[in-house]
Structure 1
Amino acid sequence: MIRGPARSPRGVLALLAVATATGSTGLAAGGTAGALLGAELGGSSAAAGFPVALLVVGSAGGAMLVSAETGRGRRGRGLALGYLIGAAGAIVVILAAAARSFPLLLIGSVVLGVANSSVFMARYAALAVRRAEGGGLALGAVFAGTAAGAVLSPLLLGPAGAAAEAAGLPGPTGLYLVAVVAFGLAALMFMAASSPRMPLLGRAAPVLSGPGVAAPSAARVLGGLRGHRARTALVTLAVANFVMVALMTVAPVRMMGGGQGLEPIGVIVALHVAGMFAPSPISGHLVDRLGAHAVLTLGWVLLLAVSLTGLLVSVHGTLAMAIHLLVLGVGWNCGIVAGSALLAAAVPGGLRPHAEGAGEVVMQLAAMLGAPVASLITAAAGYPAYSLAGACLSLGALLYCHRSRRTE
């Protein structure tokens, strides 16, 4: 039985938000620092996308791990295990930087990515708190909690980089040191929160642990994902993540090539991350009030606009790049919050853990493709060339979602 404040869904959501905020402090290690370290160890800006691409391979594997544990009634254990594996990956990357080994960096990036799936899949635990009504707002509340750590993470690029350089390591390695601590603490918090005997944190145990459900057949899972709403959700999660990850893979490298230092890059990335997570209570509330499709449309309009402005924005302009990447984050947020809520509502309860895992795998596979593609296109033809490709993808997804809505 849940006692005390956690009888209220708000108490459980607060616990989930704090644990996820802790883990999300390590997010910038694989994204921002991974791209910079990849360019340094790989000897070319074209190599920046490969650590990010392999990071999302690990994230896809982590999503399967977490969804499998959720189906067995061990959601909290799955999230904790993902964080522990990710912390081990951060240690491997630090060793790769010390040895100046690009192949070892790629191996560590795969293992590190498992923790990223734990950061993002905690949003579905929020939907488990409130399924019937207010689900979008609950998802947004936990997603917004992610903002605290995720915004702090790139801001540590400069200070952590100075500490890493003092130890004789490349500057971007500093964020991997942060990730070891952040992922380790998050793992301990989710393990504690999964035990009803644990004071305070154990109040979230009914959400994070409980009786599992029989594993459905692959045919049943695929059948549940063939409906219009489920397909629209999967397209949204995939394309929104493709556009965002691709742009954010090349933007820090291009800014550094344009003369920007680590600290201003860290501030700009922090603003982008704030755009990714901070609006979540608002976008979640809009999903509950207006419906997921309305929020999806808003997201695609923003992603289309930011891609088009990428044709004109200069990597040398700090303010212009800050606004450009902030709007990119807000557009991504609308797509992911609405797409996640739509996906969870589109399938029966017994299929939800597997649908959640499928949605996360689709997101990560899209990002895995987007990161190296954006790096290669930008290296060959410049930042505006990929911006045009992102605009075409966003417009196509907008038209697809509109058509799907009309056929329901």
Structure 2
Amino acid sequence: MKTNTLNGWPRPATQRSVVGILMAATAVGSMGLAAGGLAGALLATEMTGSEAAAGLPIGLLVAGSAVSAIAISALSLRTSRQAGLVTGYAIGIAGAVCVIAAAAAHSFVAVLAGSALLGAANIAVFLARYAAAAASRPAARARNLGAVLFGAAVGAVTGPLLLGPSERLAAALGLPRYTGLYLVAVLAFSVAACLCALIRSSGGRETIRRLPASSWRSATRTRPVGAALATLAVTNLVMVAIMAIAPVHMSGHGHDLDTVGLVVAAHVFCMFAPAPVAGMLTDRFGPARVAVAGGVLLVAAGGVSAAGDPHSAIAITAALVLLGTGWSAGVVAGSMLLVASTPGRERMWTEGLGEAAMGAAAAAGAPAAGAIAAAGGFAALSVAGACTAVLIVAIPMIMERRPARRRRQSDPREVPVRVHCPQAPPRAGTPAAPLHDVPA
């Protein structure tokens, strides 16, 4: 059967193959994210002797993610999504190696530099969900987007569970104990990059023209896109702020590393495992309502975290499970709102901007989380996170005033392609679909 390509990804003949590869790459690549999200906070506290520094590595990671989101989106436009994902993982490998060397040399500044480079791999993991949506017909986008996020649950849960074993591996190699997860990251990102490279054989290359600046600027000014960006930013801000300090908070109250790893694994599992369900709910009830449900879960997580016994692993686990589930709902709803609100040829720009918004919000919140926790304790941080999550309830009011959909204008510099669809062949005189995506 002849393979048709759209947005650089084959469809519909090899759609399941592409989504399966993306799921596998995301599952393996997400194992490396535990290095920056968990080991980074512990390594910073050990090197500086202050909890106030715990949020700095993850803060630099999300700042690097914000910059990488725009850069990788631009690279994907010029080449292909596959090239963008592979490049992101390659930069992440360099970042993990930098952190390992810096920790061995007792250079905290270099540790922060390596953490920033890890942001590129972080973006590669999360941009894969948009790649899956771009490889799908409109009716299957939410399901496939959620499927790729679900794939991340496998590696994301395994990563924190390797905290104890990787510590022993690092000690056996004569390295600082918290660099073990960075060794795991080097291997995980390498395998993920190789998997993404396999997609080249599944379909042809695309021909892409650079979009004018006015094109993507106009796309970001619409109310639905603004609501989507706000949902993604606030959701990630609350989750990152609390999780930047949670491992240190648990360690300070007598929980051993194996317990910390298990609790964090439960949280991360709930970030990704409910994604397919969130996708189906988004299709059924709309992204605005699912975003509000995610906000309610985040508020509940902050309340349970603030009121729970810090010595009880069960109480902390309950709070972090709610936090992860709320994040899943918010990210799926915000992502689908972004995809549905943007014309196909402008989607890569808004996808990158969405990841940049998430990274920028978290970059500002993670260091602030360390300062709040140092001044008022983990309970004060949890209350602040719950109050911030309340902002998400404004999404329905924004969407109720949604303006009329803009008429899509063709770009003479864009090369269109026709997509073969046996179920609904195009009628005579029907214009070809835009290059970058099938219209929603």
Same fold per superposition (TM over 0.5): yes
Out of 257, 277, 282, the position equivalent to 1:282 is 277
1:103 correspondence with 2:103: no
Please list, as runs of the form range in 1=range in 2, the aligned pairs for 1:33-72 lying within 5 A after superposition: 33-72=39-78
Partner of 1:199: none
CA deviation digits over 1:12-63, x for unaligned, max 9?
A: 2111101111111101001101111111112211101111111112111221
CA distance in 1, matches of 2:29, 2:224: 31
Conservation of the 8 A alpha-carbon contact between 1:161 and 1:175: yes
- Percent identity, aligned pairs only, is 46
Q: CA deviation at 1:388?
A: 1.4
Instruction: Report what 2:418 is aligned to.
Output: none
Instruction: Give 1:181's aligned residue.
Output: 187
Structure 2, unmatched stretches of 5+, are 5-9, 403-440
Structure 2 residue aligned with 1:407: 401
| Aligned mates of 1:373, 1:22 — CA distance in 2 | 31
Partner residue, 1:227: 222
Note the C-alpha offset of 1:407.
Answer: 1.5
CA deviation digits over 1:74-118, x for unaligned, max 9?
A: 110110011011001100100111112111111111112111000
Whether contact under 8 Å (2:21, 2:196) holds in the other structure is: no
Alignment partner, residue 210 of structure 2: 214
1:93 equivalent to 2:99? Answer yes
Find out whether 1:308 has 2:303 as its counterpart: yes
Q: CA deviation at 1:167?
A: 2.4
SS in 1 for 2:197: helix
- Cα deviations across residues 310-356 of structure 1 (Å, max 9, x unaligned)? 22013211111111101100000000011001001111111100000
After superposition, what is the alpha-carbon deviation per residue over 1:207-245, rounded to whole angstroms, capped at 9, x for unaligned? xx422233221x332221121210110000000000000
Report the equivalent of 1:244: 239
Cα distance in 2 for residues equivalent to 1:169 and 1:323 = 34
Tell me the residue number matched to 1:267: 262
Give 1:258's match in structure 2, choosing from 248, 253, 275.
Answer: 253
Q: Which of residues 370, 375, 393 in structure 2 aligns to 1:375?
A: 370
Q: Which residue of 2 aligns with 1:291?
A: 286
Q: Which runs of 4+ in 1 moved over 4 A?
A: 3-6
CA contact (8 A) 1:296 1:339 kept: yes
Q: 2:383 aligns with which of 383, 388, 392?
A: 388
**1:153 maps to what in 2?**
159
Query: Residue 135 of structure 1 aligns with which residue?
Result: 141
Given that 1:23 and 1:119 are in contact with CA atoms closer than 8 Å, whether structure 2 keeps it comes out as yes
| Partner Cα distance (1:5, 1:19) in 2 | 19
Structure 1: gaps of 5 or more residues: 197-202
On the 8 A contact 1:216/1:351 being kept in 2, the answer is: no
CA distance in 2, matches of 1:301, 1:389: 14
CA contact (8 A) 1:255 1:265 kept: yes
Q: Is the 8 A contact 1:5 1:11 kept in 2?
A: no
Larger radius of gyration: 2
Distance across 1 between alignment mates of 2:134 and 2:51: 42
Code of the residue aligned with 1:406 in structure 2: it is E
- The residue aligned with 1:200 is none
Q: Deviations over 1:225-283 (max 9, x none)?
A: 12121011000000000000000001000100111111110000100000000011111
Q: Distance in 2 between matches of 1:319 and 1:373?
A: 27
Structure 2 length as normaliser, TM-score? 0.87
Contact map agreement 1:233 1:339 (CA 8 A) in 2 = yes
For these two proteins, the number of residue pairs brought into alignment is 396
Q: Match of 2:41, as an amino acid?
A: A
**164-173 or 268-277, which deviates more:** 164-173
Contact map agreement 1:70 1:212 (CA 8 A) in 2: no
Residue pair 2:304, 2:315 contacting (<8 A) in 1 also: no
Q: Paired residue for 2:426?
A: none
Which moves more between the two structures, 372-381 or 5-14?
A: 5-14
